[in-house]
Amino acid sequence: MRLGAYNATLTEGSKVAEVYGDTQIEERHRHRYEVDVKYRKQLEDAGLVFSGMSPDGALPEIVEWPDHPWFIGVQFHPELKSKPFEPHPLFKDFVRAAKDNSRLV
């Protein structure tokens, strides 16, 4: 189980690198599950992008689906770094994407 802050390296030009405005981030973990990297090639062949990895490149931290308006999956808890008037960048961008893609607005 990984607990606490861990670094991640984001792929240049990825959606998450754009959201964070950087390619080096630190996020807080509290889980015991990981993506099994033995399936990485199959997942990438199906269109999933591993856009955030541990600094050694061994552990997936973030995946995204580029053909979707906003599909980002993370291995950490962004809510632990979010405040009511200072939302985490992922939450802020998710709301922006929802608004941009809404048929009601």
Taking the C-alpha atoms of residue 77 and residue 70, their distance in angstroms, rounded to an integer, is 18
- Summarised one tens digit per residue, pLDDT across range 67-101 is 999 999 999 989 888 999 999 999 999 999 999 99
Q: Are 15 and 97 in contact (CB under 8 A)?
A: no
Neighbours of 13 (CB within 10 A): 9
pLDDT for residue 69: 92
- Summarised one tens digit per residue, pLDDT across range 54-76 is 999 999 999 999 999 999 999 99
Domains plus CATH for the chain? Answer: 2-101 (3.40.50.880)
Taking the C-alpha atoms of residue 10 and residue 66, their distance in angstroms, rounded to an integer, is 15
Q: Are 74 and 90 in contact (CB under 8 A)?
A: yes
Residue 39 Cα to chain centre, angstroms: 18
